[in-house]
Chains A and B, each alone.
Chain A
Amino acid sequence: MHNAIDHLLTSANEIILGKDHKIRLAVCCLLARGHLLIEDIPGVGKTTLAHTLAKLLGLHYQRIQFTSDLLPADILGASVFDSANNTFKFHPGPVFNQMVLADEVNRATPKAQSALLEAMEEQQVTVEGKTYPLPSPFFVIATQNPSHQIGTFPLPESQLDRFLMRIELGYPDQAAERALLAGQSRQQLLESLTVQLPPPQLHAIQQAVTDIHVSPALLDYCQALINFTRTSPEYPCGLSPRGGLALLRAAKAWALMHRRDAVLPEDIQAVLAAVAGHRLRAGSSHSEAIVAPLLEKVGIH
């Protein structure tokens, strides 16, 4: 099981260079059954990362490019009249896939955004009074341009909360950039990828994540963190209970990835920026900067 994860990470690292920690976080998010939001400027490999993960996991993959004229039906699907049978037939939209890449999600209107986000939360789609379950596993990777760019509708807070993690990829470092420029085309490399973690195995790992032990001492630390966000003037709004649950879930997955059977404070700290950064909305857009006071001021004993 652990070997499979390691292989997955190694393969992914061959495609996306120099982003080991970010890839780990993305995989961790996946193992914790959460959706991932990648926020960065265009061209740093957001789509490639989503592509890579879909390939390595052997998931049905569909990309939805969000634009300002995108309608909910374009995402969810629509009923079309079938003249042969004289009935309406539901044509499922791109959301009916195991892995959906919602590219540039903040370019669409709020109406279209909410169609996707509601599907994410409920794992099902209701069209014209009929409910259609989404496939399992269901994993959404949304990419987002920084909201200061022109033509964006920033995601409302309630919908940001639906994403377990938000990560920023950032520019590659000098060595990675060099390797990228000198190496093969990413497109070709992607084609050559093989499935490392097929869905049944993924499901088993996701199940194992829930069994990771959480001690009272760790819960104390977790609560201290949550409390700090609620009482400190640095944060306009503290972590919600859903945020707290998300933090613990991600930390469990992180612990599992590091071959532990119990969560350590370090696991919490490792995922804290990605899990809490977009929920705290503390002015700065850099998750690490947002959670720095938490890591510094909240004692673990």
Chain B
Amino acid sequence: MIANLDKNVLVFLLASIALIVFPHIYHIPINIFAYFYLLIGWRFVGVWRPHWLPNRWLVFLLTVIGIGLVYLQHQGIFGRDSGTRLFVVALGLKLMEIKTERDLYLVTFLAFVVAASQFLYTQSLVMAAYILLVCCTLIATLVCINSRQPQPWDALKTAATIVVQALPIAIVAFILFPRMEAPRWMLLNDRQQARMGLSDMMEPGSISDLGQSTELAFRVQFIGPMPPPAQRYWRGPVLSKTDGKRWQPSPHQGFAQFMDKPVFTGKPYQYTLLMEPQNKNWVFALDMPAEFTQPLARNVTYQLITSANPDKRSEYKITSYPQYNTGYITRIEYADAIQLPAPPSPEINGLVTQLHGFDSPPEVFIKALLAHFHNEDFHYTLTPPIMDDKPIETFLLKTRYGFCSHYASAFVYLMRTAHIPARVVTGYQGGEFNKAGNFLEVHQYDAHAWTEVWLEGKGWVRVDPTAAVAPERIEQNINIDALAQDAVIQFASDADTKQASAWLKHARELLGNVDYNWQRWVINYNSNNQAKFLANLGVDNLKAMIYWMLGLTAFITAVLSFILLYQRPKTTDQALRHYQQFCRKLAKYGLIRQPGEGETAFAERVKVALPQAGEAVGQITHIFVGLRYGRVARSEDLQRLAQQVREFRVEEIK
């Protein structure tokens, strides 16, 4: 039986399957991956040495091993990960028993399912393009199975044509097919996946992990003008409880009804925010968010919380005001914002006294403290020396090397020592502007910590002590990640390097823009978006949607079929074109030339059926035959042919 299968087809099939499974290298453990590629390698050898293929018992043994591998990994075979792995193992095993043509079809269709399983993990544009290409090779495999003499290159061309023809229908189905939201249980266990991001707990040094991650946190597209870089504070969790080392959010909740209503002034900024998947349900809005829609809500620390599944990319429309007054402070807030783990040490008290912390208004003390950071020998670095015992004291008085979380925590500590309510705010600061797509990209390395101080008559006011030490970090949004890690960051002018990498930067921006739109319009196209988008087009209910879908699909199919069926053989031969026109005229009388019928033979047949047209048919055929097969083709013959064909009529017999 094996001898019947074409080697080319097998090699083609195996190569496509090897390509399809390859991106799973990121998702399936190396032993299952190796197991699969061992099987496929074995099968490749088996193409030329069929007797080396395993017999039934060996296949059984391999099956046990494969399922055992999956089971050991997961203690089960349900769920996305183990399901995918089981499928890959099964595909590998099925390769071992390709015996008939039917098996080829089965394996090809299994491979399509594996291709689709890639989207359970990655939905990027690159992956989509890759899968589309690999699907081309799979379809080419099917073409090969069905052709007399498989020619890989021709098969690929046919497959590519099929895919291109399928695309319009796919687009229509994508836009109009009713979206079903997956039920909760179908989300399975992919929440366990670790994701980078801010945590709700801050220790000195915790943000520096993020400082080196280039992963995207979210994207923002402004409607109208953008705020200047110094105002781009993306508000995250507020930390007010401390044990002197670690900072955590306040445990107190539910006092929102006692809080003053914030008053917003100045120019509002409207924007769309596209959050990347994350573990927490935080949405990092521009400080401070004023208007937002479901499923967002603002908590007592003015942070936006979403009630949708944060593990999916989601888009929000938010309006923020950079100038605001939160009004009076509640007692709970005050108690939280003044809390200290223990009475400050004499050295700290001495520092506050020296900066007139106890005897001047808060504004003066803040200014003095910021000036202290600026003028004294404080340095900004992402790799500060380790401070074990009393980090704040050691930082302020001894090491003086640190980054945003050190400065923020030290600042708040000193404020609280001087009985001024203060707290740490974490979030992101800055963002890289993508010129190509006209949006901001905020990465994990933009993670930042700053402080808020409550002032009489002004409410909570943002103070960023890091700005006093390294104003470039805030104003120019310098990518710390790109700078040396273990050196003190000097924030030297890097105009030269910018110039050199401008082209690269532009390319990256363009790519970022494509990805943004892909995420926004394709991945994020759920039932809500669909409803909104279609309502714009006047399609507002399910029935209309389905009618439109069926109608458009039918239309595209009709257009494609028309093109395919009425595709005339491409020819530069004018004479042949005239002759074909002549044949079409005759076809109206039921005289259809068979493809293998010679012109003179056809003419004889026509003369019998339509004796009254015999002369004209004879002439036309004679001229055409002369032009096509004769020794010399004269242009006047061509004109005569054209004219005769044009004038050709069959008179009705009276």
Contacts and interface: CB of A to CB of B under 8 A. Distances in A.
24 contacts: A213-B629, A215-B630, A215-B631, A217-B573, A218-B629, A232-B148, A261-B630, A262-B630, A262-B631, A264-B599, A264-B625, A265-B599, A265-B629, A266-B599, A266-B600, A269-B598, A294-B596, A299-B595, A300-B595, A300-B598, A301-B569, A301-B571, A301-B576, A301-B595
B600 A231 contact: no
A295 B573 CA distance: 23
Contact of B598 (A215, A232, A233, A266): A266
B553 to A, nearest CB: 33
B377 interface: no
Contacts, number: 57
B579 to A, nearest CB: 8
A112 interface: no
B627 to A, nearest CB: 9
B interface residue count range (under 10 / 10 to 19 / 20 to 34 / 35 or more): 20 to 34
A270 to B, nearest CB: 9
A67 B40 CA distance: 61
Contacts of B571: 301
Given A215-B629, A300-B599, 20 more contacts: A213-B629, A213-B630, A213-B631, A215-B628, A215-B630, A217-B576, A217-B629, A231-B148, A233-B148, A262-B630, A264-B598, A265-B598, A266-B598, A269-B598, A269-B601, A294-B596, A296-B594, A298-B595, A300-B595, A300-B598
Contact of A300 (B573, B580, B596): B596
Q: Which 10 A-B pairs have the closest CB atoms?
A: A299-B595, A266-B598, A265-B598, A213-B631, A215-B629, A262-B629, A217-B628, A262-B630, A295-B596, A231-B148
Interface residues on chain A, size class: 20 to 34
Contacts of A295: 596
B149 interface: yes
Interface of A: 213, 215, 217-218, 231-233, 261-266, 269, 294-301
A228 to B, nearest CB: 10
B573 A261 contact: no
B243 interface: no
Nearest to B580: A301
B629 A300 contact: no
A217 B598 CA distance: 13
B287 to A, nearest CB: 72
Contacts of B496: none
A264 B573 contact: no
Nearest to B147: A231
B382 to A, nearest CB: 68
Contacts of B651: none
A217 to B, nearest CB: 5
A295 B597 CA distance: 8
B624 to A, nearest CB: 11
A218 B149 CA distance: 25
A160 B518 CA distance: 67
A300 B601 CA distance: 12
Interface of B: 148-149, 569, 571, 573, 576, 580, 594-601, 625, 628-631
A298 B597 CA distance: 9
Contacts of B569: 301
Contacts of A301: 569, 571, 576, 580, 595
A266 B148 CA distance: 28
Contact of B596 (A215, A263, A298): A298
A299 B625 contact: no
A233 B595 CA distance: 20
B628 A297 contact: no
Contacts of A297: 595-596
Contacts of A218: 629
Contacts of A299: 595-596
B609 to A, nearest CB: 18
A28 B630 CA distance: 21
A262 B624 CA distance: 13
A154 B628 CA distance: 42
A114 B601 CA distance: 41
Nearest to B628: A217
A300 B628 CA distance: 11
A6 B552 CA distance: 66
Nearest to A296: B596
Most chain-A CB neighbours within 10 Å: which of B595, B598, B600, B629? B629
Given A213-B631, A217-B573, A263-B629, A300 B597 contact: yes
A261 to B, nearest CB: 6
Contacts of B628: 215, 217
Contacts of B625: 264
A231 B151 CA distance: 11
Nearest to A261: B631
Contact of B601 (A213, A217, A233, A266): A266
Contacts of A266: 598-601
B168 to A, nearest CB: 30
Nearest to A270: B598
Contacts of B596: 269, 294-300
Contacts of B595: 297-301
A265 B596 CA distance: 9
Contacts of A269: 596, 598, 601
Contacts of A294: 596
A264 B599 CA distance: 9
A235 B602 CA distance: 28
A47 B461 CA distance: 120
B396 to A, nearest CB: 86
A264 B631 contact: no
